[in-house]
Amino acid sequence: MMSKAVSAVVASHGDHDAAPLTKPLTLKFSRVPVTWPFAKPRGLPIFAGMKTCLTLALALGLASAASGVSAQSAGSSAAPIQAPVQTEEMILDAAEVDLNDLLWLKRPLVVFADSPADPRYVQQMQLLTERLDVLDERDVVIVTDTDPDARSQPRRQLRPRGFMTVVLAKDGSVVLRKPEPWAVRELTRNIDKLPLRQQEVRDRRDALRQ
């Protein structure tokens, strides 16, 4: 809306032949109140939306990480890490062993030689020590005898000649005897055929299902 001063100036210059204005024309407008059809929004910072999005993204990321840790923990509890096999518990000196003490407890794997420098003995021990975990799983203990003059109890019982590898069952019976080095895979294959070993596997499988 124009003020009265503006109306007068416009009226006086309505004729095209009138003299030109020599003073600058000043327009004044009155303040007209504006009525909002709804509540006028208060100032919302431009970063508020971004802050909300970042908060949601952070929350989702933390939830995903927590789920991964939980799954890893569950997997760890289902398959616990086994402790490393202690060599001193797996490899015994025949001079300190009585095979009768191992009945129904262990499966003795006795390695005989006339000297610890025998290449067959060296090769056999290397093959065995590389797979101690597999042997320990089958309750096998390794008994070594490289001194014929000591006349150990295992030597008197099994009476080897030169180099010999002998595997005994838990009941004391001889599973196999061979005058040459054996691979662990061949040894365990023969052990796994034993009825008692097969029963042990079934019992462990049933225990895991419970």
Put the strands of the sheet holding 140-145 in their side by side order. Answer: 91-93, 140-145, 107-112, 164-168, 174-178
- Whether 3 shows a pLDDT value over 70: the answer reads no
Residue 92 has φ and ψ, to the nearest 5°, of: -120, 150
pLDDT in tens, 133-166: 999 999 999 999 999 999 999 999 999 999 999 9
Which domains does the chain carry?
Answer: 91-209 (3.40.30.10)
Q: 197 or 4: whose pLDDT is higher?
A: 197
Which residue in this structure is represented by tokens 């799954």?
71
- Model pLDDT, residue 84: 67
Tokens in use for 4?
Answer: 């009265």
Q: Which two tokens stand for residue 18?
A: 């009138």
List the structure tokens of 172: 């004391």
* 3-state SS, residue 92: strand
Q: What residue type is 119 in one-letter code?
A: P
Distance CA 154, CA 174 (A): 12
Averaged pLDDT for residues 182-201: 96
| Residues in CB range of 89: below 8 A, 6 or more apart | 141
Which of 39, 3, 9 lies closest to 24, judged by CA? 9
Q: 46-94 pLDDT, tens per residue?
A: 444 555 545 555 555 555 555 554 444 444 444 445 556 677 789 999 9
Residue in this structure with the two tokens 């799983």, named with its chain if needed: 137
Cβ neighbours of residue 139 closer than 8 Å, sequence gap 6 or more? 105, 106, 107, 170, 200
Distances (CA, A) of 49 to 45, 58, 110, 138: 8, 14, 76, 64
The residue count for the chain: 210
